[in-house]
Amino acid sequence: MEVIGTDIPGVFIIEPRVFKDSRGYFFESWSQREFDAMVRPVRFVQDNESCSSYGVVRGLHFQKGAFSQSKLVRVVEGTVLDIAVDIRRGSPTFGRHVAVELTGEDHRQLFIPRGFAHGFSVLSERAVFQYKCDNYYAPQAESAIAWDDPVLGIDWKLDPGDIILSDKDRKHPPLSGCPDLFDYRDDLYTDV
């Protein structure tokens, strides 16, 4: 696999080696050994999958405190714009985001470390989205920031009239009003 750094240290694009022939393709989507050596040691404990239609925006979600999660995300079918926002107070990149288009054809993945909010928008008719987490889902630790916070300046690549949100995602506070942010000085991986 090839690991590509982004404008925010710790957030990586991962491009697997894809082998194609007349039968189709094959690629290794996950290798603990390679990931630990090239990205960081992480022990993923839960895999999740969602299916969404064009215009759906999910995010910007995270789990707070001891329940924080790293995520390794990819698209199996369709196209999404994936977003990672640095929500670590005191970080040199606080409030900045990385936006990466992921498709079922290019097989790219995005690694989002702990201390980041995550979301995506669906740019194709339908998208099947999979992600690994290094901490179990904990409903009591759910938190989020507003997907449309103007301070973040995220271009979701959708016409505003096409955006579909859950009721919950319509109500999140802006970054400046979120009480659950992380501190850049804290080691968020002490339990790994």
pLDDT (tens digit, 9 = 90+) per residue, 100-120?
999 999 999 999 999 999 999
Least confident of 23-27, 119-123, 146-150: 23-27
Average pLDDT, integer, range 40-45: 94
What are the tens digits of pLDDT across the range 143-154? 999 999 999 999
Q: Is 107 a catalytic residue?
A: no
What kind of fold does domain 2-183 have according to CATH?
Answer: Jelly Rolls (2.60.120)
Q: Is 131 a catalytic residue?
A: yes
Domain residue ranges of the chain, discontinuous segments joined by + = 2-183
* Model pLDDT, residue 192: 55
Q: Where are the beta strands (DSSP E) in the chain?
A: 2-5, 12-15, 18-21, 24-27, 46-53, 57-63, 71-77, 79-86, 88-89, 97-103, 109-112, 116-122, 126-133, 142-144, 182-183
End-to-end alpha carbon distance in the chain: 23
* Model pLDDT, residue 47: 96
Residue of 61, 97, 118, 172 marked active site: 61
Residue of 97, 107, 118, 131 marked active site: 131
pTM reported for the whole predicted model = 0.94
Would you state the structure tokens that stand for residue 51, as one six-digit string? 């299916």
* Model pLDDT, residue 191: 66
Indicate the average pLDDT of the chain. 95
* Model pLDDT, residue 18: 86
